[in-house]
Structure 1
Amino acid sequence: MDAFLVSAGVVALGEIGDKTQLLAMMLAARYHRPGLICLGVLIATLANHALAGLAGQLVARLLDPDILQWALGISFLLMAGWLLIPDRLDEAPRPMRGLGVLTATITLFFLAEMGDKTQVATVALAARYDSLTAVVGGSTLGMMLANAPAVYFGARAADRLPARLIHGIAAALFAVLGGATLLHAAGGLGG
């Protein structure tokens, strides 16, 4: 349950003001089909985060447990810093001509999520927790919690959210995860 809740919370907070959230709002403004756009975001996120989760589990199997703990602790701290850097809409892919709303949303959202903060977070969380289903389910729920309102309420609602504060909270969560993981790693080496 921890893996699910931590993944959902961290990803939802990290997604506020992220380029994929901006992309979701842009698609909603262009196509005016919020249901199909949310479905596309869900499908793209499930596919992308399942791959990220598998990558995280592979890393966990390949690295020595002590080294993995140190690597995860450092990666969580780096993620905390990364979350404090705002995304810009010009980094997101442009809508594609000739594709239906659902296909365009899936394609654009999947591509925009490649190497994104929330994808990297999912890799790290899957390496940290031993439940691929909980991490992917939680991270997908977090993406939907952040993106569905963006699609339905558009830019007006998103502009009212204090993105800096929300990113600060997400960064603090990652810093706590990183610190706790490093403390655990230090205890593992001494014991």
Structure 2
Amino acid sequence: MESFLVSTGVVALGEMGDKTQLLAMLLAARFRKPVPIILGILVATLANHALAGAVGGWVAQALGPDVLRWVIGASFIAMAAWMLIPDQIDNEDAGGRQLFGVFGTTVLAFFLAEMGDKTQIATVALAARYGDLVAVVAGTTLGMMLANVPAVFLGDRIAKAVSMTLVHSIAATIFAVLGMLTLLNVGQIF
């Protein structure tokens, strides 16, 4: 349960102000069809995070426990630093033409935008840390949905009401604490 809850919280906070959240707002403004956009985000996130989780599981087996602890701890600390750098959406991430319809455009745009993104890398690290692929992928996917579904419906109002600097600082702190606990070999986080 810990792996699910930590994965959900870390990704939900990490996604705030992220380029994929900005992409969700852009797609909502462009297509004005929230249901296929939300379903597209869900499918893209499940596929992307399942692959990332599988890579995390492979890394955990390949490195062994001692090396893995240092790699994961350093990764979490690097993620903490990365969280302090605000994201901006690239125009090409917006989906361009509507060749695949609203759902297909959303799946493709989100899957590609999430490649190498903070939340994808966090999913790799979380899967390697906890070793429970299903709980981590379910948690990171829920975290993505918690951050992006309101963005689809409320978009600009959320961006104006919430301090992204504060949210990113909280997420960075969580990643830093996870990194230090991992480096110190603390088994249970909460």
User: Normalising TM by the smaller chain, what interval?
Assistant: over 0.9
1:181 aligns with 2:186: no
- How far apart are 1:91 and its partner, in Å? 6.3
Match of 2:7 in 1: 7
- Pairing 1:102-121 to 2, within 5 Å after superposition: 102-121=103-122
1:146 aligns with 2:138: no
- 2-side partners of 1:94 and 1:134: how far apart? 30
Deviation by residue 1:46-104 (Cα, 9 ceiling, x = unmatched): 00000000000000000021010011111100000000000012266132312200000
Structure 1: segments with no counterpart, 5+ residues: none
- 1-side partners of 2:2 and 2:8: how far apart? 10
Are the aligned partners of 2:26 and 2:94 in contact in 1 as well (CA < 8 Å)?
no
Match of 1:162 in 2: 163
- 2-side partners of 1:21 and 1:152: how far apart? 12
Structure 2: segments with no counterpart, 5+ residues: none
User: TM-score if structure 2 supplies the norm length?
Assistant: 0.95
Identity of aligned residues (%): 62
- How far apart are 1:159 and its partner, in Å? 2.3
Distance 1:64 1:174, change over 3 A: same
Amino acid aligned to 2:128: A
How many residues in Structure 1 have an aligned counterpart in Structure 2? 186
1:41 aligns with 2:50: no
- How far apart are 1:157 and its partner, in Å? 1.9
- 2-side partners of 1:18 and 1:181: how far apart? 25
Are the aligned partners of 2:83 and 2:168 in contact in 1 as well (CA < 8 Å)?
yes
User: TM-score if structure 1 supplies the norm length?
Assistant: 0.94
- 2-side partners of 1:56 and 1:169: how far apart? 24
- 1-side partners of 2:83 and 2:55: how far apart? 21
SS at match of 1:115: coil
Deviation by residue 1:149-172 (Cα, 9 ceiling, x = unmatched): 000111222221111101111110
- Pairing 1:17-166 to 2, within 5 Å after superposition: 17-90=17-90, 93-97=93-97, 98-166=99-167
SS at match of 2:179: helix
